[in-house]
Amino acid sequence: MNKVNEPNRKSIRLKGYDYSTPGYYFVTVCTNDRRCLFGEIIDDVMILNDAGRMVKSVLCEIPIFYAGIDIDKFVVMPNHIHCIIIINSVGVGPRAYPEHHVATDGQPQGVAPTYSNLSLSDVVHRFKSLTTNKYIKGVKQNRWESFNGQLWQRNYYEHVIRNEIDLSETREYILNNPKKWHLDKYNPQTMETQRI
């Protein structure tokens, strides 16, 4: 496609902000077309299906594969995830195995960690890649609902958490998200009523 015909996409990131800076980041990632693929809300509780459990598992594994990255509170919703990603230090990077994974001869197994600045977008990209590959496998092997083109929307929402009050409010928002699904802007039924 000719560059002239490509849509002009503006970045929604803070101009000049270094997203590899240690801190807490609130992130929302939505499925493409906001399709509900990960389960359903029943009586204000998120009931994960197999795909939702896979997404949860990948979120929980991120700190294993990235030194200096932690996942604080999170929730997997029917068509999106909310999570707090913590970048603990500069100089983190992907690693093949957790640091505590040691062979029987006492030597660490796998590839030694490569240290480079890891940004928030690197973590989100890795999450999207891992979940997409596992989801495709689930479609082929377990007949999960297929998706059209891509599993996740191209972009993601982020908010730099600035202080303890902001952190507390964000954690509360994540915790209560399933209870407020009927009001959620990502809920397809809510979106339909807003159009009327």
Task: For residue range 74-112, list pLDDT tens digits in order.
Answer: 999 999 999 999 998 654 444 444 444 433 444 444 444
Residue scoring higher pLDDT (75 or 10): 75
| pLDDT tens-place string over residues 133-158 | 999 999 999 999 999 899 999 999 99
Rounded CA-CA distance 156/85 in Å is 13
Query: In the chain, what are the domain boundaries?
Result: 18-184
Rounded CA-CA distance 143/160 in Å is 38
**pLDDT of the residue at 191:** 60
For residue 146, what are the contacts with CB-CB under 8 A and spacing of at least 6?
139
**pLDDT of the residue at 146:** 95
Indicate the residue type of 172. Answer: E
Residue that the structure tokens 């929302």 belong to: 28
Query: Model-level pTM?
Result: 0.79
Determine how many CB atoms are found less than 10 A away from the CB of residue 166: 14
**pLDDT of the residue at 21:** 84
Looking at residue 86, the DSSP 8-state letter turns out to be E
Rounded CA-CA distance 60/70 in Å is 9
Helix (H, G, I), strand (E, B) or coil at 164: helix
The CATH number given to 18-184 is 3.30.70.1290
- Do residues 194 and 87 lie in contact, with contact meaning Cβ atoms separated by under 8 Å? no
In terms of C-beta density within 10 A (0-12 exposed, 13-18 middle, 19 or more buried), how is residue 94 classed? middle
For residue 109, what are the contacts with CB-CB under 8 A and spacing of at least 6?
97, 101, 102, 103
Instruction: Over range 59-68, report the average pLDDT.
Output: 90
